[in-house]
Amino acid sequence: MDDGELLFLGAARQAELVRTGKVTARGLAEASLRRIGALDRHLGAFRVVRAREAVLAEADARDAARAAGTDLPLLGVPVAVKDELDVAGEVTGFGGAANHTPAARDGEAVRRLRAAGAVVVGKTVMPEFGQWPFTESAAHGSARNPWDTSRTTGGSSGGSAAAVAAGLVGAALGGDGGGSIRIPAACCGLFGLKPQRGRVPTAPQPHLWYALGTIGPLTRTVLDSALLYDVLSGPSGSDRWAARPAATGFVRAASTAPGRLRIAWSARPAVPGVRPHPEHVAALRRTAGLLSELGHDVREVSPRYPDATAAFLPQFCGGVRAEAATVERPDLLERRTRQTLRLARLAPEAAVERAVRAGERLAVRAERVFAGADLLLTPTLAHRPRRVGALDGVGLAGALLRSRPMIAYTALWNVTGQPAASVPAGFGTDGLPVAVQLVARPHEETTLLSVAAQLESARPWAHRVPPLP
């Protein structure tokens, strides 16, 4: 089995191979490092790849654990981590150039991955402070879509998405404050679940962009994501929000048929003035038809979405301000970021807290669509992935305007806090992936995972690999 075949297997299968002795953790780590060395110059997925000796020492420790009879769920799986999360010994750059001192210890999510047997190979690129649904920055350039390197990966977890889609790692951590897991998953043909707010700890930070942000993986399969969420989930004691415990394990949910559910579907975006691409609407209709064939009660609806701007924008500004306050060289922040910080002066801490409470009230209205449905099905994106360079030459206002079609279906569910996932739904005539979004009731990731796995079984997507050199 060559490096690509091995890495494209994904996290669950890789861990099984190490567990059964068919490959070693060191062999997996070496394959990942070779593939990164060969391909990342075309993709720009990694901000930093950890020193080879450090990665291999970590892999050797996993092989020693296996030899001692230790059974770990992510044994030997090579993973990447988005640049906003702490990895001991590496700088937390937030996508920019304003920090220089390495983190002293892992963030809690990274610590849990390592405790479960994963091997961290590096940190992935992102737009500065994750502000944009395009992974482009002045400091580190642009991440490129493995399916067409002239196109965007989406963002802000675009480096993580490119690394998984190109088979550089078995899985990668991202974050989602307005769609930043789901958007790059849709652009790159991956499964990406934004979990319930408070499901995955943000420690050492008490929150990620206040009530908007969550941490979670990007993976090739539903089972891979479920496996990582079983590892990542649970309170840390210092998080501002905590999700209700899941009714069952996530792997178990992804392996269990959902039964007959009521599924509402709509092509209507939550952002006014945005029109979905016809191929996205066609994929939505095909998926609705498939779900009906699978035995679900599927009905078109026309939701009256509330305007989330007053709840979203102050938290966005406050979140960027809080992260920017931690950097060592604020003079090295990007021009657009400095513009965001000037805007943030209009949203002092009291206004941000009012926005959090406004989001809680808005959630009650947004969730009315679930009065007659167990899940909501929508497109993930309004437009097709743009060419790389979406942020070139534009300031804050231009970047916000260009972001609207990317977040038109995703950002509302960050305000409400409930689970939502991007699910692959084929390919467009441009050769790039197409995706749909499933949104669940609060705290019900298990329902979403079960249906997503059913869709994956009906139209497998993980066997498709991008045409890389």
Q: Given 82, 194, 266, 450, which residue is catalytic? A: 82
Q: What is the dihedral of CA 455, 74, 185, 293, to 10 degrees?
A: 0
How many angstroms separate the Cα of 32 from the Cα of each of 8, 160, 163, 175? Answer: 10, 14, 10, 22
Catalytic, 156? Answer: yes
Does the annotation count 225 as an active-site position? no
Q: How far apart are the first and last CA of the chain?
A: 18
- Cis before 204? omega within 30: yes
Angle (CA) 345-350-351 rounded to 5° is: 60
SS3 assignment for 421-458: EEEEEEECCCCCEEEEEEEECCCCHHHHHHHHHHHHHH
Closest to 40 measured CA to CA, from 101, 119, 122, 120: 122
For every one of its 469 residues, what pLDDT tens digit does the chain have, with 9 covering 90 and above?
898 899 999 999 999 999 999 999 999 999 999 999 999 999 999 999 999 999 999 999 999 999 999 999 999 999 999 999 999 999 999 999 999 999 999 999 999 999 999 999 999 999 999 999 999 999 999 999 999 999 999 999 999 999 999 999 999 999 999 999 999 999 999 999 999 999 999 999 999 999 999 999 999 999 999 999 999 999 998 999 999 999 999 999 999 999 999 999 999 999 999 999 999 999 999 999 999 999 999 999 999 999 999 999 999 999 999 999 999 999 999 999 999 999 999 999 999 999 999 999 999 999 999 999 999 999 999 999 999 999 999 999 999 999 999 999 999 999 999 999 999 999 999 999 999 999 999 999 999 999 999 999 999 998 899 998 7
Catalytic residue among 137, 142, 160, 180: 180
Q: Walk me through the domains of the chain, giving residue ranges and CATH numbers.
A: 3-458 (3.90.1300.10)
- Please, what sign has the CA dihedral across residues 138, 141, 145, 151? positive
> Catalytic residue among 142, 156, 403, 450, which?
156
For the segment 250-305, what is each residue's pLDDT rounded down to a tens digit? 999 999 999 999 999 999 999 999 999 999 999 999 999 999 999 999 999 999 99
What pTM was estimated for this model as a whole?
0.98
Counting Cα atoms < 13 Å in the Cβ hemisphere of 312 gives 23
Q: Is 82 a catalytic residue?
A: yes
Cα separation, 403 vs 9, whole angstroms: 33
CA 22, 28, 30, 35 torsion-angle sign: positive
